[in-house]
């Protein structure tokens, strides 16, 4: 991916600001106490769709309407937040949106996408099967296929990263959940644009290790399954361009267990009274898994979304880890 310029980031911020105000970032005393060091939380759960992805969808659709006005709509695959992003942006820019999801996907995310105006199609046993089918039928339906990783999506997400670095003060380390990679790629790109030395750490589930395997091997490594309840990081076929950026720009990619992600959801609720979906809490799980020497005196993480099904959150608060 080519570097992001200041002009591009300013333009993307202007697009996002039409619909999304800056999200807050706080040092919650109880959370820092639990971590044993200062921790800043970037609250991307406070966007109009409850997740950071909305920014990328807006930037993607704005360019589509401006440069490809003949395109009547888009199609993509999602576990929920990417689909909500496209649905929200499709409504803003007057374009049809079709979203493919796998069987067993979040009931409430599916409902939210429909409420935003998207057509939701259930297909396949996991994200990759839904993704392949969406790409296959795009031409048949006369729709533009939106990949899960694209420079415009990264550019949109980068607007929240700029907010974080502008307002949070010096940070030793930032922990970022990694699905297809728009979040961590945006974090690396803005860190480099601003000339900072903050370490960027990607966090994934140990039940979906494809990203770590790919970064460590220097090329895309796929896995047969990604059986984790942390649906936002359930990736078994990483994007090659995204992996290259992580290899060159991330300090490391670490894995945590699903149990650790569930515990992080409980910690967040107890210390901040924010609801986090599993992917929204997994970065905190990664932070808590590392020593103070690794993460530094002042660290941050992205609470990337709060869209968790009620029944699943009830189970987590009851002390269990839901089955994928």
Could you report the per-residue pLDDT of 160-170, keeping only the tens digit for each?
999 999 999 99
Whole-number Cα distances in Å, 279 to 66, 98, 175, 228, 234: 33, 23, 12, 10, 9
Ramachandran angles phi, psi of 24, nearest 5°: -80, 160
Question: What does the pLDDT look like over 43-94, one tens digit per residue?
Answer: 999 999 999 999 999 999 999 999 999 999 999 999 999 999 999 999 999 9
Contacts of 171 by beta carbon, 8 Å cutoff, 6+ apart: 40, 165, 196, 198, 296, 298, 299, 300
Is residue 11 predicted with pLDDT exceeding 90?
A: yes
| DSSP-based three-state secondary structure for 39 | strand
Return the pLDDT at 1. Answer: 87
pTM: 0.96
pLDDT tens readout for residues 225-263: 899 999 999 999 999 999 999 999 999 999 999 999 999
Question: What is the three-class DSSP state of 224?
Answer: coil
Average pLDDT for 197-215: 97
What integer best gives the mean pLDDT of the chain?
Answer: 97
Distance CA 142, CA 255 (A): 40
What's 76's DSSP letter? E
Nearest to 301 by CA among 184, 205, 222, 212: 184
pLDDT digits (tens, 9 = 90+) for 128-137: 999 999 999 9
Residue 162 contacts by C-beta under 8 Å, 6 or more apart in sequence?
A: 9, 13, 190
Above 90 in pLDDT, residue 126? yes
In the DSSP assignment, the letter for residue 206 is: T
pLDDT of residue 70: 97
**% of the chain exceeding 90 in pLDDT:** 99
């Amino acid at each position: 991916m080519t570097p992001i310029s200041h002009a591009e980031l300013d333009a993307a911020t202007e697009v996002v600001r039409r619909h999304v105000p800056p999200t807050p970032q706080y040092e919650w005393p109880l959370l820092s106490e639990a971590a044993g060091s200062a921790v800043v939380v970037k609250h991307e759960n406070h966007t109009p769709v409850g997740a950071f992805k909305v920014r990328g969808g807006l930037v993607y659709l704005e360019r589509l309407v401006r440069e490809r006005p003949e395109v009547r709509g888009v199609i993509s695959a999602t576990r929920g937040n990417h689909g909500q992003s496209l649905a929200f942006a499709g409504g803003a820019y007057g374009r049809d949106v079709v979203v493919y999801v796998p069987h067993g996907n979040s009931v409430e995310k599916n409902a939210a996408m429909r409420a935003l105006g998207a057509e939701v199609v259930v297909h396949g046993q996991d994200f990759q099967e839904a993704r392949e089918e969406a790409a296959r039928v795009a031409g048949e339906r006369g729709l533009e296929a939106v990949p899960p990783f694209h420079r415009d999506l990264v550019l949109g997400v980068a607007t929240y990263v700029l907010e974080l670095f502008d307002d949070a003060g010096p940070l030793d380390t930032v922990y970022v959940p990694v699905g297809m990679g728009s979040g961590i790629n945006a974090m690396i790109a803005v860190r480099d644009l601003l000339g900072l030395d903050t370490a960027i750490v990607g966090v994934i589930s140990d039940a979906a290790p494809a990203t770590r395997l790919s970064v460590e091997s220097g090329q895309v490594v796929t896995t047969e399954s990604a059986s984790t309840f942390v649906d936002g990081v359930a990736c078994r076929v990483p994007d090659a361009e995204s992996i290259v950026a992580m290899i060159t720009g991330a300090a490391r990619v670490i894995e945590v267990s699903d149990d650790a992600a569930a515990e992080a959801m409980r910690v967040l609720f107890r210390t901040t009274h924010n609801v986090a979906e599993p992917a929204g809490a997994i970065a905190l799980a990664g932070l808590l898994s590392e020593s103070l020497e690794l993460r530094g005196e002042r660290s941050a993480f992205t609470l990337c979304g709060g869209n968790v099904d009620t029944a699943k959150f009830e189970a987590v608060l009851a002390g269990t880890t839901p089955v994928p």
